[in-house]
Structure formats: structure tokens, C-alpha cells
Amino acid sequence: MVMSWIWTGMVGLALVFGLVGGAPGLAQAAMTGAGRAVELGVSLAGSLCLWSGFAELLRQGGLRDRLGRLLSPLLGRLYPTARDDPETMGSLSGNVTANLLGLGNAATPLGIAAVRRMQALAGSTAATDEMCLLIVMNTASIQLLPTTVAALRGSLGAARPFDILPAVWLTSACSVTAGILAAKGLKRLWR
């Protein structure tokens, strides 16, 4: 619903500005924008196809599960309640691993499964601290391979589409740290 308001607002604002400022070529601009979107979609299709194939390969080859096992000691420390429940831990580590590999579509169902299981165990409709932590870790997006963005950069002619990797890692680390610290701090206020 928010996007409906944003989109309508954008078009309305453009029309008002166009009428007041007398900017020519609004109809032409609309067509240009629509055409550019399709060009973008077409040039993105190749690398998105490739990376989604790579993702499936990681899953079938067992590399995804191996990464998940590598992470479980750290996750156990962050989620002390979930640690004792293998089902929660399974979805949780799957969710984090999928996020790390830039597989948002695979991460969402696993994350939902983890929250559902936590809710069933907690037996309340209020978010637990560990659910809030899971939300923060998902919205702060810890990605090792931001494939969609790299695909986008490549399609727009970047010299080295993947050279933003170190910056993305550092930025993700900053936002996840800030999120975890905020969650730990706010936990005390929200009794």
C-alpha cells in the first residue's frame, strides 16, 4: 500500500512541476523510462539466470549445508533459547546461510519457518528477543555475494562489477553490528 502512495505521489509531483515550470517532453519521458526498464530487465536476465543456477548448484552440491554447519556455534551463542531446539536451529542456520550467499528467495521461507517455530515454542503473540534479533539480522542483510547488484553494475557497464565486495562486506558488518547492539539495548527498555 505504501508503494501505491509513493508511485501516485511521484507522478503527481512530476505533473505539478511540469505544469509550473513548463518543462517539455513529459510524455516522451514516460516512454523513455518504460523502455529503459525493459532494456535493464533484458540485460539483467543473463546474470540473474547464471547466479540462480549457481545457487541451485550450491544447494545440490551440499556447500550450502556445510556453510550452515560452520556457522552453528556462532548462531548458538546469539540464540541461546533456539540452540536447544534442532528444528529452530536448522531453519535459522539455513536462513542465515541463504542470506550470506545472496539468495533472498531461499532465505525468506526458512526465516518464516524459524519465526513460526519460535512462536510455537514461546506460545505468545508478542515477539521474543530472539525473533527481534532474527528480524534485525535479516533486514541488515549480511551478504557475501551481492549477486543482483553485481549483475546490475555489470549490465550498466561497470569495469569490475564485483569490486564493491569489500565495501559491501564492511557496510553489512557495520549495519548488523549496529542492529544487534540496538536490539540488545532496546531489550532493556521494552520489558
Rounded Cα–Cα distance for residues 74 and 93 (Å): 10
Minimum gap (Å) between residue 87 Cβ and other proteins:
14
Which sign, positive or negative, has the C-alpha torsion 106, 77, 86, 63?
A: positive
Q: In this structure, how many other beta carbons lie within 10 angstroms of the beta carbon of residue 4? A: 8
Name which of 71 and 144 has its Cβ closer to other proteins. Answer: 144
Minimum gap (Å) between residue 79 Cβ and other proteins:
15
Minimum gap (Å) between residue 73 Cβ and other proteins:
22
Name which of 11 and 70 has its Cβ closer to other proteins. Answer: 11
Minimum gap (Å) between residue 59 Cβ and other proteins:
8
Minimum gap (Å) between residue 78 Cβ and other proteins:
14
Take residue 69 and report the three cell numbers written for it. 554447519
Name which of 72 and 119 has its Cβ closer to other proteins. Answer: 119
Rounded Cα–Cα distance for residues 28 and 110 (Å): 44
Q: Is 11:27 a contact under the CB 8 Å cutoff?
A: no
Name which of 76 and 162 has its Cβ closer to other proteins. Answer: 162
Name which of 77 and 167 has its Cβ closer to other proteins. Answer: 167
Name which of 40 and 74 has its Cβ closer to other proteins. Answer: 40
DSSP string, 14-74: HHHHHHHHT---HHHHHHHHHHHHHHHHHHHHHHHHHHHHHHHHHHHTTHHHHHHHHHHHH
Q: Is 183:133 a contact under the CB 8 Å cutoff?
A: yes
How far apart, in Å, are the Cα atoms of 179 and each of 5, 91, 135, 136, 175? 28, 21, 10, 6, 6
Minimum gap (Å) between residue 94 Cβ and other proteins:
14
